Amino acid sequence: MTSIAVTIAGSDSGGGAGIQADLKTFGALGVYGASVITALTAQNTKGVTGIHDVPAEFITAQIDAVFSDLAVNAVKIGMLSQVPAIHAVAAGLARHSTKNIVLDPVMVATSGDRLLATDAVDALRRELIPRAIVVTPNLHEAAALTDAPLAQSERDMEAQARQILALGPRYVLIKGGHGTTDESVDLLVGEGNVVRLTARRIDTKNTHGTGCTLSSAIAAGLAKGVDLVTAAHEAKTYVTEAIAAADGLKVGQGHGPLSHFYRSWK
C-alpha cells in the first residue's frame, strides 16, 4: 500500500517553503504527497511581497476532492492566514475523520514577514490545535500561542509546551532553531515525557523553509506507520542534514532553501 500524506498550506513561489517544501520532503522520504493550497504568496529568498488568500469554499472543495479519493495516512497543516480558512480546514478534517495531524502554526516567515492575522490565533487555538497529534511551534510562535515572553531556556520551552498541551494536542514539539547556543535543541513534550532532540547548530543563512520541512518530515514518518517519537527523531536528522547540504545549492540572493534531495543529488 502506498503511504500518502497531504499538506494543507500556502504556496511559496520561490520554492523553498510551504507547499513546495512539503511535497519535496514527502518525495525525498518515500511518501506520495497531495496538497490543499490555502494561500498564494509572492515570495523569494529575500522575503514575501504579497499574499493572496484562497477562498474558504475552494479550500473546502480541495479537501473534499483529495480526501474522498485518496487513502490519506497523515496530514501536515501549515499556513492558514485567515479565520475562514481555519474554519474550512477544521470542518473538512472533522468531516473526513482525519488522523495523524501535524500542525505547524506558521505565523512569521524566516524573513520576518507576518503570515497569520492576529484574530486567527484564537481560532487556531480553538479549532485546530486540539485535533493535532503534534503541534510544532518555533520559539516565537510558542510565545505568541501562550502570550508569554520568548523562551530563554529549556525550562521556559517546557513550560510553554505544557501550556499548549493544555489546549488538547497529544504532543508539542518546540523548536529551538532560533536559539543562540552551539547546540540546536528541540523539546518534544507529551504523554508524560520530555524528549530532547539535539543537533549541532550549522552556520549558514540558507534555512528558508526549515519549519515546514521538519513538520512535513514528521508527517511522512507517521504516514509510513512510524510512531510519533521515532518520526520526530528521524525528522530532526533529515532536517539537520538538509541544512548541512544547503550551501551546496546556489539559489537566490537571500535566505536560500534547504537541500531536500541531498541523499540523491550528488
DSSP string, 119-136: THHHHIIIIIGGG-SEE-
pLDDT digits (tens, 9 = 90+) for 16-62: 999 999 999 999 999 999 999 999 999 999 988 999 999 999 999 99
Torsion of CA 75, 53, 62, 136, to 10 degrees: 0
| pLDDT value for 88 | 98
Q: Which three cell numbers stand for residue 162?
A: 505544557
The residues that are catalytic are 175, 207, 209-212
pLDDT band at 132 (very low <50, low <70, confident <90, very high): very high
Evaluate whether the domain defined by 4-248 bears CATH number 3.90.1150.10.
no
CA 22-27-29 angle, 5° bins: 95
Domain ranges of the chain: 4-248
Task: Flag whether pLDDT at 172 surpasses 80.
Answer: yes
Across 89-215, the runs of DSSP E, i.e. the strands, are: 101-103, 134-135, 171-174, 183-190, 193-200
